[in-house]
């Protein structure tokens, strides 16, 4: 008798701007992925939403697809209710997550999931494709944990492979791929993690000019954070931020601070009042 196929979770969301308020125009979700009720994060009518996975994590062989579309003028802050836990790959099965983000003109998507925690022997492949129309903004902030630190797991996963492709208008603005196999190779030394364990990345994909602020931000962040944060302009618009740290709390707090700097000083957006578990 064949075993039942592992669930193929899917979440598909489309947002529109209705008289200044962002509302869900279309929503489809297949277990285990769900969303947690829409809230409004500020008086400006932008939506705050959490992705929930009640099964507690992604198991070996699981496939999860997340698709988010913003129509012109919509503004969404999307996060996850908990960290994304990737369970061990029994029988070598890979866990996969695919994410598509589409942002129209004058729309703003902030995709800020809680950290990804690959457990010992996990095998995880993530592919993200982002399409931002001219005049739109997509901010993506991700954190990769070394494992379940509280249980002494540190870089005990088999593989994390993450690919990001970002298009602004019709130009490929961002391409990143990391293939980490920490049981086969150490990433501790100079040039790599240098003893730090948490890696965070923030991408700002937009045709809006942000690069003029970069030198000032780099100098401003050096004082409190040392050499653990760097910001640079991409070739065709937008920014990338890298951040290294020792704990989840430290990295999340610093990432949130850089995110705030870019959205308020760079994009001129009002302060965001959202619940972040580290704040």
Partner 1 sequence: MTVTDQALLRLVQLTDSAFPTGAFAHSFGLETYVARGLVHSATGLEEFISNMLLNALAPSDGVACVAVYRAEDCWEDVVRELAHRLTAMKTVSEFRQASRALGVRFLRTATQILALPRAVGYLAAIEAKTLDGHLSLAYGLICRDLEWPLPPALAAWFRQSCAALVSVGVRLIPLGQTEGQALLARLATPILEAVELALGRDTDDLASFAPGQELAGMIHRDVLTTRLYIS
Contact set with partner 1 (CB under 8 A): 166, 171-180, 185, 187, 189-194, 199, 214-215, 218-219, 222, 227-236, 240, 242, 244
Q: How far is the CB of 230 from partner 1 (least distance, A)?
A: 3
Question: Closer to partner 1 at the Cβ: 152 or 191?
Answer: 191
Burial class (CB in 10 A: 0-12, 13-18, 19+), 12: middle
Q: How far is the CB of 161 from partner 1 (least distance, A)?
A: 8
Question: Closer to partner 1 at the Cβ: 30 or 187?
Answer: 187
Question: Closer to partner 1 at the Cβ: 9 or 182?
Answer: 182
For 150, which DSSP code?
G
Question: Closer to partner 1 at the Cβ: 32 or 266?
Answer: 266
Q: What angle do CA 252, 255, 260 make, to 5 degrees?
A: 125
Q: How far is the CB of 218 from partner 1 (least distance, A)?
A: 4
Q: How far is the CB of 56 from partner 1 (least distance, A)?
A: 29
Q: How far is the CB of 202 from partner 1 (least distance, A)?
A: 11
Question: Closer to partner 1 at the Cβ: 152 or 189?
Answer: 189
Residue among 23, 50, 22, 17 at smallest CA distance from 35: 50
Rounded CA separation 263/259 (Å): 6
One-letter-per-residue 3-state SS of 48-104: EEEEECCCCCECCCCEEEEEEEECCCCEEEEEECCCEEECCCHHHCCEEEEEEEEEC
């Amino acid at each position: 008798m064949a075993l039942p196929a592992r669930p193929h979770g899917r979440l598909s969301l489309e947002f529109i701007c209705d008289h200044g308020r962002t509302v869900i125009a279309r929503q489809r979700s297949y277990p285990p992925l769900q969303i947690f009720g829409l809230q409004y994060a500020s008086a400006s009518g932008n939506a705050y939403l959490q992705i929930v996975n009640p099964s507690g994590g992604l198991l070996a062989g699981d496939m999860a697809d997340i698709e988010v579309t913003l129509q012109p003028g919509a503004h969404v802050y999307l996060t996850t209710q908990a960290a994304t836990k990737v369970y061990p790959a029994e029988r070598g099965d890979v866990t996969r997550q695919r994410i598509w983000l589409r942002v129209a003109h004058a729309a703003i998507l902030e995709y800020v999931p809680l950290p990804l925690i690959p457990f010992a022997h996990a095998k995880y492949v993530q592919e993200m494709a982002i399409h931002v129309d001219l005049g739109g903004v997509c901010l993506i902030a991700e954190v990769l944990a070394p494992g379940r630190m509280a249980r002494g797991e540190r870089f005990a996963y088999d593989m994390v492979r993450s690919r990001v492709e970002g298009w602004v208008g019709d130009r490929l603005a961002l391409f990143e791929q990391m293939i980490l196999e920490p049981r086969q190779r150490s990433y501790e030394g100079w040039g790599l993690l240098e003893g730090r364990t948490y890696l965070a990345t923030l991408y700002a994909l937009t045709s809006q000019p942000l690069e003029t602020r970069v030198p000032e931000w780099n100098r401003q962040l050096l004082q409190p954070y040392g050499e653990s944060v760097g910001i640079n302009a991409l070739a065709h618009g937008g920014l990338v931020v890298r951040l290294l740290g020792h704990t989840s709390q430290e990295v999340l707090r610093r990432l949130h601070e850089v995110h705030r700097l870019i959205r308020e000083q760079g994009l001129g957006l009002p302060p965001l009042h959202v619940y972040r578990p580290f704040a």
